[in-house]
Chains A and B, each alone.
Chain A
Amino acid sequence: MDNFIFKVYYLSFAIVLAQTAAGGVLAVAAKNLIHCFLGMVVALIGVAGLYYHLGSPFIALMQVMIYVGAVCVAIAFGLSLTRKAGEEGLKPLTPIALIPVVLPAGMLAATLKGLSHLEKTGIPRKLDESAIGWHLLGKYLFPFEIISVLLTMAVIGAVSVALIRRREQNGNI
């Protein structure tokens, strides 16, 4: 029975991995902007699936909620405001596009080489979600606060940039 569960686990992990990779390729290679967007959604849901397989359903759900539910929807909102988002074909890839492919691949290879001595274990055990909360509000409170201050600054900056643009266009607010 245990062996069967391992097999199912590895199979579904492989499927999610393939989904993430396929989504990423679609997001970069598609000629139609909408297809790129769809590829990004597929890849991000795949990443959520990877988190789930690595024993953290909480982070997986957060990934779906924040990246698919909020970031992608915001991007879609931006896309729908651009003219002819679905119709104009994108420019084909130039050789310079190879740089963002080769660099991460090299980093990944280096990481894997460094980790090669690690032993293969079974299915990761489920992470205790409340531990995330305790650590964020305890040991790591300072970085957590810094991040929230940074995000607040970004929001205020975005609003003020939008206001300045509008004032330049209209003369007043």
Chain B
Amino acid sequence: MKDINLLHIIISLLGIMGIVSLNAVLVVWLERKTAGRMQFRHGPMEVGFHGILQTLADGIKLVSKQLVAPNHADTALFILAPVVSLVPIFVAMMPIPFSSTMLAHETDTGLLLVIALGLLNTLGILLAGWGSDNKYGLLGGTRAVGQILAYKIPLLLTVLTIVIMAGSFSLREIALAQHGIWYAFIQPIAFLVYIVCIVLETNRSPFDMAEAESELVAGFHTEYSGMAFSMFFLAEYSYMFVASALATVMFLGGWQGPFLPAPIWFVLKVYFFLFLMIWFRWTFPRVRIDQMLMLGWKVLLPISLINFLITAVVLAL
């Protein structure tokens, strides 16, 4: 409480806002380009160099659109939902270390902070589904909740495995503990489980049950338009960034790497995970809701539990 540096906090928050918006612009572009290339076409080409400004143009279009709420919608919930979805991101980004010194808020419990606030995204989706007075929206929101219950325990067990290996909840300490060898090589099972869990956590295809277009029109954001709609997408891409940053810190040694400066290594590793998630989306077909729940409860949970037990026993010996 004592050593609060006001200037540091203001600069970090501005930086985080910059990262959130720039990351969304870049990832949307990367996603459309990757999708295009995987389907033997070019993707956006018109606005800017190879269409890099396309997202910006789309953003301006979305800002200028009208926000329409359905007649019987619960207006308070309807307006609140995108805000609830987006705001926790700004706090969750604070403990992420871009280098050993470049982080907004150094805390012993950084990992917990990110995970606890990452869970609030589901709350936003749920409120959106309930508030918009639409059966597809409600179904999407309900699915998001079922999904979070199924993946949450394996995710936390995986994180705990890494925590007992590093002996700390601080993201900086965890990254520093991998000075010799990355945890991705020591804990390959935890690494794989975590990758599946972050695809689930961020509602990305093949696990995008909450918005499955082929079944639910657009799921929880069916009724949203204009800026409220784009806030959901800003939140989704920011959660992808945060989840990838956690994966980088926990499994790929954070900012550490030869030759290049630390923040560049960090961002490169994060974008490796982001590319992986985009790749999944355009290669795998969407699973059914029961298959996804089965995967969470009957496959990921036992695997991560056994992995955790083995790690604990080996560490104790």
Contact = CB atoms under 8 A, between A and B. Distances in A.
> Do the two chains bind?
yes
B2 A123 contact: yes
Chain A interface residue count: which class? 20 to 34
A69 B120 contact: yes
Contacts of A32: 74
B116 A69 contact: yes
Contact of A69 (B138, B142, B152): B152
B4 interface: yes
A77 B112 contact: no
A104 B123 CA distance: 30
A77 B131 CA distance: 15
Interface string A112-143: 00000000000111100100000000000000
A88 to B, nearest CB: 14
B51 interface: no
- The main secondary structure of chain A at its interface with chain B is helix
- The main secondary structure of chain B at its interface with chain A is helix
A91 to B, nearest CB: 20
Nearest to A72: B123
Contacts of A34: 74, 77, 130-131
B123 A68 contact: yes
B150 to A, nearest CB: 11
Interface string B83-110: 0000000000000000000000001110
A76 B138 CA distance: 12
A57 B77 contact: no
A129 B117 CA distance: 19
Interface of A: 5, 9, 32, 34, 38, 41, 55, 57-58, 61-62, 64-65, 68-70, 72-74, 76-77, 80, 86, 123-126, 129
Interface of B: 1-2, 4, 74, 77, 107-109, 112-113, 115-117, 119-120, 122-123, 126-127, 130-131, 138, 141-142, 145-146, 148-149, 152, 169
